[in-house]
């Protein structure tokens, strides 16, 4: 059953650091994708280990090592992050390049996603959130993924990019496939399809510039001395397309699953939705516990890290969820503590590639809570419907059937 692509152990990897761990595997008994990571700790996996699965890669389990990989871009590069290796692979600006090259696009985009800039998106996020909830609030049931969490971030992305709203479902399907597919050939084809859609979009946008991110990138391309090329503009859009949609969707799925299961928590949060300090602390704790991303890095040059020899082009996986549950950093790490005071979680990464959209992600989740809980205060999971979960670079589940008593 579980014989995905393996390869022999490279000679520089010592046998005592080898663990048979498949990043993507979902066994029938697995109920929660986080459990497969916790199992690594429970079975005493070395804090830095090599698995031969999926082309072979390292995995870091400790907060300090994951933090170091994020910070030390001289050793742990963002170039060509694919597991298993996929060819050809797009050079995703700015996430897929290292400093100093990375600042060209990063500096273009950062001003669009600062707290000040994101606060101006509040009304639009709220409008979209209400519209989505309006569609099912009186029905007494929804599939949270299909009806809400899958649509809010993607809809905002399309709005910010200046894309055609009519193609929302097509874009969701393409981005979803990108995150879920393991077969390198199918992945390469999917990448080609996304590029096709983006190429067509930019051919149109070229003649219809507006107040959106795509137009900003095109204007940068046409600015003398910017060094921004047409290909880079498309690559950058590709990145925004796949980076900011799935992760927010999945995080909301975990949060709403939690709220559906724990009435006391949803009532508590409902009591301070308009108190920014309490709501912010709660959000950070939810983001800590439900860190859905397993981030990839590539070893840039032969190196010895913590006495372990690593070779150029070795891949490294950084599970944010384990960093965030490291008892060396977090008090009672397994516990969701909505009043947690010290919480330097790594859910948005850190260093030069810190998640560009983190403030928008927080705004979307905060607004969703503010709009949802007063209208649908009590809700439950319909356990009669089996839910398929997935692992990999972003973890989650494909559906979340919710039920509540609709107002007569």
Tell me how far apart the alpha carbons of residues 221 and 224 are, in angstroms, rounded to a whole number.
Answer: 8
Q: How far is the CB of 393 from other proteins (least distance, A)?
A: 21
Choosing from 16, 207, 332, 341, the residue that interacts with other proteins (CB under 8 A) is 341
Which of the stretches 192-200, 226-234, 352-360, 388-396 binds other proteins when contact is defined by CB under 8 A? 352-360
Compute φ and ψ for 115, nearest 5 degrees. Answer: -55, -40
Check residue 215 for interaction with other proteins (CB under 8 A): no
Check residue 110 for interaction with other proteins (CB under 8 A): yes
Choosing from 14, 115, 263, 327, the residue that interacts with other proteins (CB under 8 A) is 115
Nearer to other proteins, 137 or 350 (CB): 350
Within 172-211, the residues that bind other proteins by CB under 8 A are none
Please state, as a whole number, how many other Cβ atoms lie within 10 Å of the Cβ of residue 339. Answer: 9
Q: How far is the CB of 161 from other proteins (least distance, A)?
A: 20
Contact between residue 194 and residue 92 where contact means Cβ atoms under 8 Å apart: no
For the four alpha carbons of 240, 241, 242 and 244, in that order, the dihedral sign comes to: positive
Tell me how far apart the alpha carbons of residues 76 and 300 are, in angstroms, rounded to a whole number.
Answer: 6
Distances (CA, A) of 308 to 10, 14, 304: 13, 9, 5
Check residue 343 for interaction with other proteins (CB under 8 A): yes
Check residue 338 for interaction with other proteins (CB under 8 A): no
Q: How far is the CB of 404 from other proteins (least distance, A)?
A: 31
Q: How far is the CB of 315 from other proteins (least distance, A)?
A: 24
Within 217-236, the residues that bind other proteins by CB under 8 A are none
Please state, as a whole number, how many other Cβ atoms lie within 10 Å of the Cβ of residue 132. Answer: 21
57-60 and 315-319 beta bridge pairing:
parallel
Check residue 284 for interaction with other proteins (CB under 8 A): yes
Check residue 348 for interaction with other proteins (CB under 8 A): yes
Site string for other proteins, 243-282 (x = CB under 8 A): ---------------------------------xx--xx-
Query: Six-digit token pair at 167?
Result: 């193609």
Nearer to other proteins, 14 or 327 (CB): 327
Which of the stretches 153-161, 189-197, 340-348, 371-379 binds other proteins when contact is defined by CB under 8 A? 340-348
Query: Six-digit token pair at 402?
Result: 């919710």
Check residue 111 for interaction with other proteins (CB under 8 A): yes
Residue with tokens 């913590």: 306
Check residue 370 for interaction with other proteins (CB under 8 A): no
Distances (CA, A) of 364 to 3, 249, 280: 39, 10, 12
Check residue 114 for interaction with other proteins (CB under 8 A): yes
Contact between residue 54 and residue 22 where contact means Cβ atoms under 8 Å apart: yes
Choosing from 159, 358, 390, 398, the residue that interacts with other proteins (CB under 8 A) is 358
Contact between residue 251 and residue 283 where contact means Cβ atoms under 8 Å apart: no
Check residue 17 for interaction with other proteins (CB under 8 A): no
Compute φ and ψ for 174, nearest 5 degrees. Answer: -65, -45
Peptide bond into 88 cis (omega under 30): yes
The residues near 344 (Cβ < 8 Å, ≥ 6 apart) are 329
Residues in binding contact with other proteins, number by CB under 8 A: 27
Binding site for other proteins (CB under 8 A): 67, 107, 110-111, 113-117, 276-277, 280-281, 284, 341-346, 348, 350-352, 354, 358-359
């Amino acid at each position: 059953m579980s014989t995905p692509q393996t390869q022999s152990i490279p000679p520089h990897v010592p046998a005592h650091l080898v663990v048979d761990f498949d990043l993507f595997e979902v066994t029938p008994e697995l109920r929660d994708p986080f459990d497969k990571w916790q199992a690594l700790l429970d079975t005493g996996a070395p804090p830095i280990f090599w698995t031969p699965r999926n082309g072979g890669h390292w995995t870091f389990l400790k907060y300090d090592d994951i933090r170091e990989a994020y910070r030390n871009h001289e050793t742990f590069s963002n170039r060509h992050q694919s597991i298993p290796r996929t060819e050809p692979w797009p050079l995703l600006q700015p996430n897929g390049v290292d400093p100093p090259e990375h600042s060209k696009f990063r500096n273009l985009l950062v001003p669009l996603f600062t707290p000040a800039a994101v606060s101006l998106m509040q009304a639009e996020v709220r409008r979209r959130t209400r519209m989505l909830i309006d569609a099912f609030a009186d029905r007494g049931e929804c599939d949270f993924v299909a009806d809400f969490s899958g649509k809010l971030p993607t809809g905002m992305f399309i709005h910010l990019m200046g894309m055609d709203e009519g193609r929302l479902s097509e874009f969701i399907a393409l981005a979803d496939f990108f995150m879920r597919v393991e077969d390198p050939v199918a992945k390469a084809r999917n990448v080609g399809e996304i590029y096709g859609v983006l190429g067509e979009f930019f051919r149109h946008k070229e003649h219809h510039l507006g107040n959106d991110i795509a137009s900003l990138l095109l204007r940068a391309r046409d600015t003398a001395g910017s060094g921004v090329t047409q290909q880079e503009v498309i690559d950058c859009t590709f990145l925004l397309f796949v980076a900011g949609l799935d992760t927010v969707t999945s995080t909301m799925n975990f949060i709403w699953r939690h709220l559906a299961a724990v009435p006391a928590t949803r009532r508590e949060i409902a009591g301070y939705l308009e108190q920014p300090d309490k709501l912010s602390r709660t959000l950070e704790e939810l983001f800590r516990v439900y860190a859905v991303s397993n981030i990839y890095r590539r070893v840039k040059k032969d190196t010895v890290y913590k006495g372990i020899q690593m070779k150029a082009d070795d891949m490294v996986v950084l599970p944010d969820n384990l960093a965030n549950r490291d008892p060396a950093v977090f008090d009672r790490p397994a516990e969701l503590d909505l009043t947690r005071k010290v919480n330097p979680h790594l859910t948005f990464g850190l260093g030069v590639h810190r998640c560009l959209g983190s403030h928008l992600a927080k705004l979307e989740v905060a607004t969703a809570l503010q709009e949802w809980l007063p209208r649908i205060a009590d809700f439950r999971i319909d356990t009669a419907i089996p839910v398929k979960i997935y692992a990999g670079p972003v973890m989650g589940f494909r559906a979340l059937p919710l039920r509540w008593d609709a107002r007569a």
